[in-house]
A and B are shown apart, each in its own frame.
Chain A
Amino acid sequence: MEIAREWVKNVFIIIVAITFVEILLPAGSMSKYLKFIFSLIIMAIILSPLAIFLE
């Protein structure tokens, strides 16, 4: 239960933070790549509970 709570909290905070950061990013050629990296971060956070099984 504790793990699930922690996981949801992380996903929530990361998505809110990334949404705000994406808006404040200066519009340039780099922003596309940054958005892709952000998506990768979100994917990593969503998959993070799997790390417990791999240990």
Chain B
Amino acid sequence: MSIESIVNEQLAAMDMRKIEELFNLSGSRSIFGNTSPGEIIRSILKGDPIFSLHDILAAISNQFMKEIHISIMLGVQLVIICIIIGLLKNFSTSFSEETVSKLGVIVCSCCVMVLCLKSFMDIYQVCSDSINTMTVTMQALLPILVPLLISMGGFSSGGILNPFIVGAITIFNSFLQKFIMPAVYLSCIFILVNSLSERDYVKKLALLIRGIAVYGIGLAVTLFSGLTLVQGLVTKTADGMLAKTAKYSVDNFVPIVGGFAADSLDLIISCTTIIKNGIGIFGLIILLTLLIIPLVKILAVALIFKITAVVIEPIGNKTVSDCVNEVGNTVITLAIILFLCALMFMIFLSIIIGIGGGSLWK
């Protein structure tokens, strides 16, 4: 009975259609190539690398250039509007009244506002969708991972961590969708409306709301991942005791064959651990893709905003340039939110992966 045959037997009995579907849905194929939980487990057994760094970097940079190409139109439009604003300002003396040129500038600012808001809405949607898909992925992975965890002897880990992590994910998702993301959205609207007039009416308010959103998510991530981490450490020790006791009693209280039974028990538990880790790594890959693809898009748009702000600073007026710069910062805030969310989910998965089985119990 080799390790591979045990692993294959156990893998065949499991239903992993849902996470493979999520793998296709998330577009992981374009970055990580064609892979499956079975293949990852086989490469773990053989000690092969799971993916090649070179291909992944090439895929990511390709994606980045594509996104830049898509969003460069936005930058060009903004620059054109700002050139018009500059012209209007210079021509203000040749109009009969100054009011006309001022009105023209404000209409142009409104155009800038609409353009920025439209592209921000797109980014917001992408970010929100991605967080939702991450949540669905975690909710699909846990029912597969936790039974494996319990079957390899992690009774208290599985029993305590499962409700804990599911609760944390659900609360975190609705917290993000209901409070944090709308707050960032509000701050973007305030920044944009502030660009209409020369005076600052609501700039500090916008920055305050954005700051609260960032602190809020930082606090939530620290709280949830810290609590889960500590809980995981405690239950891991408890499970280690349990598994060692079981092995010891089989070894000593079952006459003659007890030693062999205890050893094969250990083998089977180790195989389950390998399967659990393979599926966990597969989940991590899905989460990584769900992070990387939107992140590349968001950062490309943020870069376009920032470069546009630099370009229009000499020609346009100060308020518009500041506003585009701040919208770029807000887009980066969305990227930070997405990153922290993915980081927390990855911490959850790594806690489950990190819990060992068989003689790995410590």
Contacts and interface: CB of A to CB of B under 8 A. Distances in A.
B193 A11 contact: yes
A1 B182 contact: yes
A22 B196 CA distance: 12
Contacts of A39: 201
Interface in B188-225: 189-190, 193-194, 196-197, 201-202, 205
Interface in A20-47: 20, 22-24, 39, 42, 46
Nearest to B187: A8
A12 to B, nearest CB: 5
A35 to B, nearest CB: 9
B99 interface: yes
Nearest to A11: B202
B274 to A, nearest CB: 46
A51 interface: no
B186 interface: yes
A43 B282 CA distance: 53
Contacts of B103: 20, 23
A18 B194 CA distance: 12
B178 interface: yes
Interface in B97-152: 99, 102-103, 106
Given A23-B102, A23-B106, A46-B205, A16 B182 contact: no
A48 interface: no
Interface residues of A, number: 16
Helix, strand, loop or mixed for chain B's interface? Answer: helix
B182 A19 contact: no
A42 B106 contact: no
Given A1-B182, A11-B202, A46-B205, A19 B190 contact: no
A22 B178 CA distance: 36
Contacts of A18: 197
Contacts of B197: 15, 18-19, 22
A15 B99 contact: no
Nearest to B100: A23
B182 A4 contact: yes
Given A20-B103, A46-B205, 15 more contacts: A1-B178, A4-B186, A8-B186, A8-B190, A11-B190, A12-B189, A12-B193, A15-B201, A16-B193, A18-B197, A19-B106, A23-B99, A23-B103, A39-B201, A42-B201
23 contacts: A1-B182, A8-B186, A8-B189, A8-B190, A11-B190, A11-B202, A12-B189, A15-B194, A15-B196, A15-B202, A16-B193, A16-B196, A18-B197, A19-B196, A19-B197, A20-B103, A20-B106, A23-B99, A23-B103, A24-B99, A39-B201, A42-B201, A42-B202
Interface of A: 1, 4, 8, 11-12, 15-16, 18-20, 22-24, 39, 42, 46
